[in-house]
Amino acid sequence: MPLDDPVNEGPPLPEEARIAFRDLAKAAGINFLHINSPSEKHYVPEIMGGGAAWIDYDQDGYMDLLLVQGGRFPVPAEEKRTGPTTRLYHNNGDGTFTDVTEKSGIRHPSFGQGVAVGDYDNDGFPDLLITCYGHCHLFHNEPDGKGSRHFREVTREAGVVTDGWCTSCTFADLHGNGFLDIFMCRYVIMDLKNFPKCAHKHVNGKEVLIACGPKEFKGNQCVLYKNNGNGTFTNVSDKCCVDGKGNRTGLEPEGKGLGVLILDFDDDGIMDIFVGNDEIQNHFYRGRRNGEFESVGYSHGCAASEAGGPMGSMGVEAGDLFGKGNADIFVTTFFNEGNTLYRNEGKAFFTDVSKQGGLYHACFNNVGWGTCLLDVRRNGMLDIFVGNGHVYSNAEELDMRMPNGEKHHYKQNAQLFLGDGRGHFREISSQAGPYFLERHVGRGVAMGDYDNDGHMDIAINNCGEAAALLHNETETPNHWIRLVLEGNRPVNPQGSNRDAIGAKVTLTMAGKKLVRHLKGGGSYLSAHDRRLLVGLGAATQVDEVEVRWPNRAASTQRFGPLAADHSYRLVEGAGAAVAAHCPPIKPKRSN
């Protein structure tokens, strides 16, 4: 059913000149330096970067920041306990963060890649999954005995020991039992003893070693762990699908997965899965019933690009970019490929409209990675941020040229595109603040409103560089609302997972409708703030919020009216929305 036009239709607003992001990482005490240890062998993991995650691990209302660390590849035995590790920064509520890694319990001994946040045991505290090359680590959030929280590794006892090169991952309830399952992408299979030498022929005939592309390796299968509801998981990767003839089968045996999205793309009340693969076809698993999927990427139009071939899919995002209430898909890609925009025509049939959308040529020279959909102007129309950076650390030496003759650089500029709510995007990077004028090796990107001011901020884990914290200082008179959804599985056997991952939210104000999806996954290796921050334009009130909960019955519930510029907790089955604890920060006085 088509929805009404989004709010603030018409030409771009004059306030776009005041869009401003400022990198406050240093000032805020985020002193994270990603270590990738470039070697002569140009091992591929060295250039893949690490993820970022917003997680309020102590539930004090302030989003804390986790940044995944690499190290040396492969990790030398002597560095497994003492080497660089993923770091957790506690949000102090005054604009600063404190590194709490040492007491957090999250030290892991392997080369880190991705991160997912989810309360897999529905106890009200978010748990953590960190993926690595050759491993994954599941951490349970527990009291530390001193009035705060810390993490205990439960990978083995939970039954999720995983090998292979694990990358992007997410929690989502794919079985409709109110407990979050784990979906993990795995990239390629490398034989380090026979690691190939990949070279680029220089203009003067000299061969220069470069990082190998995915075509040099066989791909791996993704992993789906079913949550048994008792703290343990069962690997169902080989039996969670059916083929066109109704035969029981597994997830696609070969993928080169770098991005995953889980939500109900065809709006039938059952979760579906999109996996972005690097230079082989993307996979789209339509949920036939809870826990049973069919791989239908080609027939649904999102396996390949408009030209018919695969793309180097890296980061993935989903949201209503056309104002029709459907979840469209955005994919960041390799250079000499434009970023890809798949319009959801309804029922999860997709059309590649990258060129019409203004995203193809504008991204053609960049290698895109982490991304997020945010509403910078709070006008109800989603915008797109993309972190870019080449895969060739020696790009300058290679003297590779873009179609316009300019040299390729390892470091590239991040990009910001303003959306018009109808699938058209216009780049305004050069007006968005000094960070966008600097070149970086962008990789993991996670959005979160860390100061709870109703403006979405962005954390970036740059490969081999310092992390960035882009504080959103855009000025706009437009209003916002924050919705913190909570499933009631802890008290109701038919209820939704407590994080409400998979919920669909429809907001009605002044006769207009906006649809937002609380999805599993997104970006690249990273996890966004799961609280829904929605721009409302000039509306000072939301007349009604309809939530379709991700429980087996896909039941709906209505809340409201709700005043703008506040945060609300919407609990499944509860009569009314209540205030959510999202206090604004109290900045420290500078001396």
Shortest CB 471 distance to Ca ion, Å: 7
Query: Which span (120-128, 163-171, 375-383, 388-396) binds Ca ion, by CB under 5 A?
Result: 120-128
Q: Give the residue carrying structure tokens 């079913």.
A: 226
> What residues numbered 457-516 form the site for Ca ion, per CB under 5 A?
457
- Compute CA distances 582 → 25, 62, 93, 114, 491, whole Å: 21, 7, 10, 27, 24
Nearer to Ca ion by Cβ, of 23 and 64: the residue is 64
Neighbours of 56 (CB within 10 A): 21
Count of residues engaged in binding Ca ion, rule: CB under 5 A: 21
Using rule CB under 5 A, residue 375 touches Ca ion? no
Shortest CB 125 distance to Ca ion, Å: 4
Residue from 453, 473, 544, 546 touching Ca ion (CB under 5 A): that is 453
Shortest CB 287 distance to Ca ion, Å: 5
Residue from 119, 173, 317, 337 touching Ca ion (CB under 5 A): that is 119
> What is the rounded distance in angstroms from the CA atom of residue 445 to the CA atom of residue 470?
11
Give the CA angle between residues 73, 76, 81 to the nearest 5°.
Answer: 110
Nearest to 315 by CA among 119, 502, 477, 168: 168
Nearer to Ca ion by Cβ, of 64 and 252: the residue is 64
Using rule CB under 5 A, residue 449 touches Ca ion? yes
Residue from 4, 16, 60, 144 touching Ca ion (CB under 5 A): that is 60
Query: Which span (14-22, 118-126, 314-322, 560-568) binds Ca ion, by CB under 5 A?
Result: 118-126
Nearer to Ca ion by Cβ, of 93 and 219: the residue is 93
Residue from 23, 58, 328, 427 touching Ca ion (CB under 5 A): that is 58
Nearest to 413 by CA among 393, 442, 391: 442
Shortest CB 270 distance to Ca ion, Å: 4
Are the beta carbons of 184 and 131 closer than 8 angstroms?
yes
- Compute CA distances 38 → 44, 96, 355, 411, whole Å: 10, 31, 36, 15
Please report which helix (H) or strand (E) contains residue 284, including its range. strand 283-289
Shortest CB 536 distance to Ca ion, Å: 16
> What residues numbered 299-358 form the site for Ca ion, per CB under 5 A?
none
Please report which helix (H) or strand (E) contains residue 547, including its range. strand 544-548
Q: Are strands 479-486 and 567-571 parallel, antiparallel or unpaired?
A: parallel
Nearer to Ca ion by Cβ, of 294 and 306: the residue is 294
Residue from 23, 46, 127, 352 touching Ca ion (CB under 5 A): that is 127
Nearer to Ca ion by Cβ, of 124 and 253: the residue is 124
Using rule CB under 5 A, residue 123 touches Ca ion? yes
Shortest CB 76 distance to Ca ion, Å: 33
Helix, strand and coil content of the chain, in percent to the nearest 5, comes to 5, 40, 55
Nearer to Ca ion by Cβ, of 268 and 397: the residue is 268
Using rule CB under 5 A, residue 95 touches Ca ion? no
Nearer to Ca ion by Cβ, of 36 and 344: the residue is 344
Nearer to Ca ion by Cβ, of 84 and 95: the residue is 95
> What is the rounded distance in angstroms from the CA atom of residue 10 to the CA atom of residue 477?
17
Are the beta carbons of 85 and 559 closer than 8 angstroms?
no
Neighbours of 201 (CB within 10 A): 10
> What is the rounded distance in angstroms from the CA atom of residue 276 to the CA atom of residue 278?
7
Q: Look up residue 300 and give its amino acid.
A: H
Query: Which span (397-405, 453-461, 568-576, 582-590) binds Ca ion, by CB under 5 A?
Result: 453-461
CA dihedral 246, 251, 252, 254 (to 10 degrees): -160
Residue from 46, 181, 252, 266 touching Ca ion (CB under 5 A): that is 266
Using rule CB under 5 A, residue 268 touches Ca ion? yes
Omega of the bond leading into 74 within 30 degrees of 0 (cis): yes
Residue from 23, 46, 121, 420 touching Ca ion (CB under 5 A): that is 121
Nearer to Ca ion by Cβ, of 254 and 294: the residue is 294
Residue from 6, 71, 214, 287 touching Ca ion (CB under 5 A): that is 287
Nearer to Ca ion by Cβ, of 317 and 457: the residue is 457
Q: Look up residue 366 and give its amino acid.
A: N
Neighbours of 299 (CB within 10 A): 13
Nearer to Ca ion by Cβ, of 272 and 352: the residue is 272
Nearer to Ca ion by Cβ, of 37 and 232: the residue is 232
Neighbours of 15 (CB within 10 A): 16
Per-residue burial over 415-441, b if 16 or more Cβ lie within 10 Å, else e, is bbbbbbbebbbebbbeebbebbeeebb
Binding site for Ca ion (CB under 5 A): 56, 58, 60, 62, 64, 119, 121, 123, 125, 127, 264, 266, 268, 270, 272, 287, 449, 451, 453, 455, 457
